[in-house]
Every structure is written in C-alpha cells, then in structure tokens.
Chains A and B, each alone.
Chain A
C-alpha cells in the first residue's frame, strides 16, 4: 500500500473529525444593537398564499387561538425565549423544548396584523415575487434610528406550516426559517457555526433551524445577558371570567404591569393592565375586554432587560355555563285558575349578583303562602295539589298573593335560610304553598316545582 493510499483517507477522516467537533462557542456575530423591552412584540399578517402554509388547523394549547402560518411563526419566535413557553411543547422535533434562549430576552406575540406594516412595526408577512436564492429576510434600522424590524417571506417559495418535520422536500419550513429571521430581529448577524440556526445558508426544508443551538444561545445571551436571578418568572396561570391569577417569582410589590395579546387583528403592541400589586409570587389582574388568546407577560416596576418576564400562553376565561331554571312536577286546578299555579323567576342565578326573584301566578288573590325549597325532587299528592320538593326543606317568610293572584319573593342568598346553603355550584328546587279555602278539600294547594342551578 502506498503512502498516499494511507494518507488520503487518514487526512479525510481527520477533516471529518474536525467538522464533527462541537462548533466553536463564539462563532455568532452581532448587529450591534438590541431591542428594548417595549420592542419585543411581533405580529403576523397572514397573507401567505400557499395552501401548505395554512393547512395546520389543529389547535395547540401552548399557542392558543391561532393555527397555520401564524402558529408556525409564533413557534419560531418563542424558541428564543428565556424559559419554556408553557410546558415547552408544540414542536414535534423538540418535545418540551420550545424556549431555549436563557437570556434576559423574550419575544411575545400580540396578535395578527391587518397589513404588512412599515419597517419598525415588527410584522411578519409574505412578499410578492421571487428570488433566485433568498428565502426570507428581515429589514431593520441601526442606532440611533433602530426601533424595530419587518420580516418578509418570498411568495416564490412554497411555505409549509408543519407542525411535523416531515414536510415535502420542495417546501420550506415557516417555523425554521422564521426562527433564523427572529435571530436577526433580536440583533444577531449570521454565524460561522455550521450547525447554528443563524448560519447563513440553507439546505433541505429548513426544519433543523427550529431549534437554536449552543452558538445561537451564546449569541442572544451576549446581546441581552444571561437571564438574571431577579428576572420575573411566570410559572403558571389560572383564569376565571375577566380575571387571571399569575403565579411565579420576582414580581414587584407595586406597579407591576400585565401585558396581553390583542383580541382581534390590529395595531396594538399589547393590551396593558398597570398598577398591580403583588406579594412577589402572585399577581391578580382583570382581563380587559380587548385582550384575547395569545401570550401574557409581567413587566415589573423596574427597567431594563431583566424587568420583563417570560411569555406564557394565555386563554381568557369564559363565562361559566349556568343552566336556566326549569319547571317540573304537576299541578291541580285551584279556586281561581283551572290550570293551576305555576312557578317562574326573574333576575339571574349568579350568586355574585344576588338578584334571583321567585314568582308564581294562577292563584286566588289575597291568600297567604310561603315559598320553600329543598335539594330533592319528588311528585307526591299533597293537599289539593302535589308536593314537588323533598330533602331538608327550608321555608321562606310568608307572602300574600296580589289582587292578580300572583306572588313573588326576592331570594337573598346572604340571609337565612339561604345563606350558607345556596352557594355556587349548588342546585335547589323551589315551590309555593298557598291557602285556598274556597276550593275546600284540604284548603291549600301548591304550584309546580322550579329547579334552579346556582352559579358563581
């Protein structure tokens, strides 16, 4: 064997070995600028024309309210976040791993836009036309005029919204390509590290750029600093109607802000609730009417990169479903009405509103009677009518029927006997007992029953 026959493969293996080594840690380069905390939002103008750019219609709880191109681009941005976005899921290629930046930096989604916007509006959209080799680009200014960016994806390519990585070879991955472009938006230039998301050139569909690598992480941390120990952190949220309870750490005692995504496409950078207090770990905020599904963040009273929390997926609480009351059981004729007496109601069954009013009609005028309620339903002959309520029966004060043969009672859930019994989530059955001497027999009769579910 000649020397050359030994040296050639040896040298080739050596070269391969060098290329397989971990990329150098400082291959990233920076643009020399950064985004302030009020410039880290982004919107999507979903004008993507390829069917494959919007054929993912499966909702994802980590990216609520949006699918298709918007969701794919949202994922590309979130990968640069300081911590996992929700539980970090949403990308099959990095399960539980979306949110890898570890810096004092988080992009946050503020909803769809209604147009492509200007440079500085932080909007992602498709651009008409084509390019021989450029897939997408980010436009921006540099200091002193640097105040945002605009991201464009050439319509000449065929864009795919994933979410799987198995997209056809003639398509390009919106999530991966946007992840690269968001690196430019935050202040990174191209990297010399071959495996980095910020490496300049692309082969294949681009899905491998979805996950930022060590060199990219070093880059974002160089621009914004490693996530500080004092940076506010959202670790969970709980929503109720018009309210959100945010749990985490490092919240200010006073003057926190909560930032929401706008509910409908528009120009808002975020919907803000200000002046919120906290014990350091919990913030309770109202949810403005114009806030919608998207991201939620906490901005503490401080300033600088470490004053803005991670972005957390948020879905506004919905009004609890409260079934309408319904009538049941039987009635018999009474001296005033051959059809018998029937229950009704006005107001609502929401305990917080305390405005439920019992109402009965079809009775003799000027008769004494009482409303009563219990948890059980029954239908037993009783007096001249039917008993429709059972269980531990509670009686309300005596009322007299009107000249028109009606009766009503304002049910005060804060006063006995209702207080402590009628609570959110409970259900009771109501009935009216009334004297009816003219009818003879037992000299009393009853209305039908009314079943009521009570809500918060």
Chain B
C-alpha cells in the first residue's frame, strides 16, 4: 500500500486526536474555546484571598466561595486591571469550610502567586452568589515562574487550555488571536 507523506500525517493526526478524547467533569477547552467563554484573562499577582460562606434556603447550607483579588494586566486588552475572581470551595478558618473536587489547589491560589486566570462574570454560581467565576475552576488558573528573563506559564497537561509550558509573550499572542475568533465553543 502506498501512502503519501501528507496522507500519513493526516492519519497520524486523526489517530492522535482520537486517542486524546476523554471524559470527566469540567469541560475540556482548548485555548480558543476558553477565551471564547471568558469576560477577560488576567496575568497578575494574587494580592488577597478570602472565603465567603452562604447558607441558602434552597441551595443548602455551607456553600463556600473563595475570592482571589488579582492585580495585573488584561491579556486581552493589555490594560492594567485589578479584579476579583471566584471559585467554589475553601475555608473561612481552620474549622469551617469545605474542599471542592473541581477547585484549584491551595498551592495554586496562595497570596503572592503570579498567575494567569481566565474568568467570566456569572450571575449565579449557586446560592445566588454572583461574581467573576474562574472558568472551569482548577482548569482556569495557571501558575507562572521566571526563567532566563522570560515569564513562563505552567501548563497543566492534556485536556487543559494551557496543556504545556509556554512563555507569557507567546500566550499573549495566542490569546489575542483567540479574542478575534470569540464566539466559538460550547
């Protein structure tokens, strides 16, 4: 049987795509799909962190929401911003709070961390709590580090919007491109 190199590449990519399909409980979003869902994307420092408890007559008691105040710049507009972003879970104090299976880890959300965060304003995250929800929670916040003068955004692996490490400069460019095609995705 005779395959052209282009044919082999196509087959390989198709097989790769099929192999990568998987399932679970936050949506699998590539960067374009992630940006399509966001109100904005921020790169900055987590300046503050606090947890709110809501006891709701319908949605139930002990709904915990962690709010991170991030000071930095928008990756979509390039302008400086300070914004509050939210995910479910967290502890008011050592004895009151709850872990949430889809929340980012405590390490990822430490005050002082420099992060990239994708967020979207949501009217009701449960318990009538409104805020800038981190899209896909643990899948929407990424730690960064500096290497050789470059800021590197730490990828989370297969299935995430930023699967592998990437420079902040490259991410900015990709986000800018994605902003132009917003509207795609589920």
Chain A window 5-16, contacts with chain B (Cβ cutoff 8 Å), 1 for yes, 0 for no = 110111011011
Question: CB distance A200 to B159 under 8 Å?
Answer: yes
Measured between beta carbons, the chain A residues less than 8 angstroms from B27 are 133-135, 201-203
The residue in chain B whose Cβ has the minimal distance to the Cβ of A185 is: B101
Contacts of B155 in A (CB 8 A): none
In the complex, the answer to whether A12 meets B9 with C-beta atoms within 8 Å is yes
Shortest CB-to-CB span from A289 to chain B, Å, is: 31
Chain B residue nearest in CB terms to A205: B23
Q: Which residues of A contact B125 (CB under 8 A)?
A: 129-131
Give residues 109-149 of B contacting A (CB, 8 Å): 120, 122-129, 133, 135-140
Question: A50 on the interface (CB 8 Å rule)?
Answer: no
Interface extent on B, as a size class? 35 or more
* B14 vs chain A, min Cβ distance (A): 8
CA distance A184 to B89 in the complex (A): 14
| Complex interface: chain A residues within 8 A of B9 (CB) | 8-9, 12
The residue on A at minimum CB distance from B105 is A189
Q: Indicate if the CB atoms of B158 and A194 lie closer than 8 Å.
A: yes
| B62, A119: Cβ atoms closer than 8 Å | yes
Contact of A194 among B26, B88, B159 (CB under 8 A): B159
Per-position binary interface string of chain A over residues 166-204, scored 1 when its CB falls under 8 Å from any chain B CB and 0 otherwise: 000000000011001100100001101011111111111
Q: Specify the chain B residue showing the minimal Cβ separation from A178.
A: B25
Contact between chains at A16 and B99 (CB < 8 Å): no
Number of interface residues of A (CB under 8 A): 62
Nearest-neighbor residue (CB-CB) of B156 within chain A: A200
A154 close to chain B: CB less than 8 A? yes
Query: Which residues 116-157 in A have Cβ within 8 Å of B in the complex?
Result: 116-119, 125, 127-142, 145, 150, 152, 154
A contact residues around B62 at 8 Å (CB)? 118-119, 139
Q: In this assembly, does A288 line the interface, its C-beta being within 8 Å of a C-beta of chain B?
A: no
- B177 within 8 Å of A (CB atoms): no
Which residues of the partner chain B approach A132 to less than 8 Å between Cβ atoms?
A: 37-38, 120, 122, 133, 135-136, 140
Q: Please indicate which of the listed interface residues B12, B61, B128 has the most CB atoms of chain A within 10 Å of its own CB.
A: B12
How many angstroms between the C-alpha atoms of A96 and B22 in the bound complex?
Answer: 23
Flag A209-224 by CB within 8 Å of B: 1 or 0 each: 1000000000000000
Does A115 contact B60, Cβ atoms closer than 8 Å?
yes
Knowing A13-B8, A129-B124, A194-B159, the reply to whether A201 touches B139 (Cβ < 8 A) is yes
Decide yes or no whether A37 CB sits under 8 A from chain B: no
**Complex Cα spacing A198 to B25, Å:** 9
Asked whether, in the complex, the Cβ of B25 is within 8 Å of the Cβ of A181, the reply is yes
Shortest Cβ gap from A211 to chain B (Å) = 10
9 A-B pairs with CB atoms under 8 Å apart are A5-B5, A115-B60, A131-B122, A132-B140, A137-B88, A137-B137, A140-B98, A194-B158, A197-B24
Listed in ascending order, the chain B residues whose CB lies under 8 Å from chain A are: 5, 8-9, 11-13, 15-16, 19-29, 34, 37-38, 58-62, 64, 88-89, 95, 98-103, 120, 122-129, 133, 135-140, 157-160
